[in-house]
Amino acid sequence: MVNVIMEDFQQYKLFPTSVFSFRGTGVKDWDLKEYFIKESSTSSNEGNWQGRADLHKDELFFPLVDNIIKATKAATEGLKYDNNGKSYGYEITNMWGNILRKGQAHPPHTHSNNFWSGVYYITGSQKQSGIQFFDPRPQSQVLLPQKKEDNIDNGNLVSFPSAAGHGYIFPSWLVHWVPVQQDDELRISIAWNIVLRGEYGAEKDYQYARI
């Protein structure tokens, strides 16, 4: 019998998907909560409530907008994206409120025509439904061996809690959903989309674009 000695065994994690979190500073969550409760009270829709999509233009939301832009800039630069030696422009294209009541869910979806998307929680607790992200690699589901434990390396669904005063930023193409809300308290959140204004690709390539 030949003994095989394994030396210098290493693991390389290829093509990671990054989700970023931040805590809102200077954001008056109570005022925002009252705003959404008032806005949703005039709606006859008994399902998931979603409000108008231009909240980023409302002065009440300016402190949150500042937080979002700063966090998105940090995420973009942290991933070493560079606009031909300049900073990208960060444009919020849509921003809207969501209210989820007990027994309601938000089905799996993506956010088309944007680069970054995000969510900020006005209310939230461990009892409320978090946001869950799906593994974007369909090939990884072909064979699913038994697992000793679920972890970031072998899982196909990752959940983040809906914590009041906290937000998440993620790629707009990443499929996500909110499972059925079990708590009696309203789950109030704000979602948004961002496009990076600047140059995409190398200017000498046929795929170059200025957006």
Asked if pLDDT for residue 25 goes beyond 70, the answer is yes
Asked if pLDDT for residue 3 goes beyond 80, the answer is no
34-54: average pLDDT: 85
Residue 3 belongs to a domain: no
Asked if pLDDT for residue 209 goes beyond 70, the answer is yes
133-150: average pLDDT: 93
22-50: average pLDDT: 87
44-50: average pLDDT: 74
Domain membership of residue 67 as a residue range: 28-133+158-201
Query: Edge-to-edge strand order for the sheet containing 116-121?
Result: 20-23, 166-171, 116-121, 187-197, 89-100, 49-50
Please tell me the least confidently modeled range out of 42-51, 86-95, 129-138, 159-168: 42-51
Q: Which CATH number belongs to the domain containing residue 105 in this structure?
A: 2.60.120.620
- pLDDT tens-digit series, residues 94-116: 999 999 999 999 999 999 999 99
Residue 150 belongs to a domain: no
Residue 9 belongs to a domain: no
Residue 206 belongs to a domain: no
Residue 32 belongs to a domain: yes
The string of DSSP letters for 115-176 reads SEEEEEESS--TTS--EEEE-S-GGGGS-----SS--TTT-SEEEE---TTEEEEEETTS-E
Asked if pLDDT for residue 76 goes beyond 90, the answer is yes
Residue 81 belongs to a domain: yes
Give one word for 126, left, alpha or beta, with left for phi > 0 and alpha for psi -120 to 50.
alpha
Residue 11 belongs to a domain: no
Asked if pLDDT for residue 158 goes beyond 70, the answer is yes
Domain count, the chain: 1
Residue 57 belongs to a domain: yes
The string of DSSP letters for 10-34 reads -----S----EEEE-SS--HHHHHH
pLDDT band per the 50, 70, 90 thresholds, residue 7: confident
Long-range CB pairs of 27-35, under 8 A, 24+ apart, other chains included: 27/63, 27/64, 27/67, 27/120, 27/165, 28/63, 29/122, 29/123, 29/164, 29/165, 31/60, 32/60, 32/61, 32/64, 32/122, 32/188, 32/190, 33/122, 33/123, 33/188, 35/60, 35/97
Asked if pLDDT for residue 2 goes beyond 70, the answer is no
Asked if pLDDT for residue 79 goes beyond 80, the answer is yes
- pLDDT tens-digit series, residues 183-193: 999 999 999 99
